[in-house]
């Protein structure tokens, strides 16, 4: 297996990865297909802070505006489901582009178990450069998870792999 993403040049690949999962949700993807997906927030199980951060992101769902308090109220909060697995290569398919506040964008991708993740634009550029994207959004490479050092601290990333 050849690592071809540059994201973890100052980091390492993880032996195991954990996901904090939201409850299943039905969506319509970019291609018009209805799918049941599970939002997944990956984290390094060896980290002291990442598990808490991932669990907090997984809990942030089902908000409705409350005009009396002028804040969002959370409906039906739940504890996230935690999955721990070996960091074996897995495949991804692009579902759609999520446009966020302050012009932020993330590509929403799904694995073979319908877990939905974010890929940043720099990661998509690595995909285009090294393996391309097939019709229907299938990425013909595999991914593993790594962690790398940024000025703000250690971050996780998906790393593209090939079998060359």
Task: Band the pLDDT of 149: cuts 50, 70, 90.
Answer: low
Residues 5-9, mean pLDDT to the nearest whole number:
49
Write down the pTM of the prediction: 0.79
CB 79 within 8 A of CB 109: no
CB 47 within 8 A of CB 55: no
CB count in 10 Å sphere of residue 71: 9
Give the pLDDT of residue 1: 46
Residues 129-143, mean pLDDT to the nearest whole number:
91
Q: Which two tokens stand for residue 30?
A: 């970019």
- The helix or strand, by DSSP H or E, that contains position 109, with its residue range, turns out to be strand 105-110
Looking at per-residue pLDDT, the higher value among 147 and 32 belongs to 32
Beta partners for residue 119, in sequence order: 107
Q: How far apart are CA 164 and CA 153, in angstroms?
A: 32
- Cα angle for residues 81, 86, 90 (degrees, 5° grid): 90
Residues 49-65, mean pLDDT to the nearest whole number:
80
Q: How far apart are CA 89 and CA 105, in angstroms?
A: 25
pLDDT greater than 70 at residue 95 = yes
CB 73 within 8 A of CB 63: yes
pLDDT greater than 80 at residue 160 = no
Residues 91-111, mean pLDDT to the nearest whole number:
88
Task: Band the pLDDT of 19: cuts 50, 70, 90.
Answer: very high
The region, left, alpha or beta by phi > 0 then psi within -120 to 50, assigned to residue 9 is alpha
pLDDT greater than 50 at residue 4 = no
């Amino acid at each position: 297996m050849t690592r071809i993403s540059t994201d973890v040049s100052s980091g390492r690949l993880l032996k195991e990865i954990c996901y904090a999962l939201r409850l299943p949700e039905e969506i319509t993807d970019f291609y018009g297909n209805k799918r049941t997906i599970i939002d997944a927030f990956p984290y390094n199980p060896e980290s002291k802070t990442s598990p808490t951060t991932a669990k907090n992101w997984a809990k942030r769902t089902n908000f409705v505006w409350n005009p009396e308090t002028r804040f969002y109220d959370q409906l039906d909060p739940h504890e996230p489901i935690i999955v721990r697995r070996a960091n074996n290569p897995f495949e991804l398919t692009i579902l759609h582009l999520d446009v966020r506040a302050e012009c932020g964008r993330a590509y929403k991708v799904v694995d073979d178990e319908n877990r939905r993740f974010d890929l940043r634009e720099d990661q998509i550029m690595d995909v285009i450069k090294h393996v391309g994207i097939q019709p229907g959004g299938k990425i013909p490479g595999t991914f593993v998870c790594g962690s790398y050092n940024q000025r703000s601290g250690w971050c996780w990333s998906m790393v593209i792999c090939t079998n060359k």
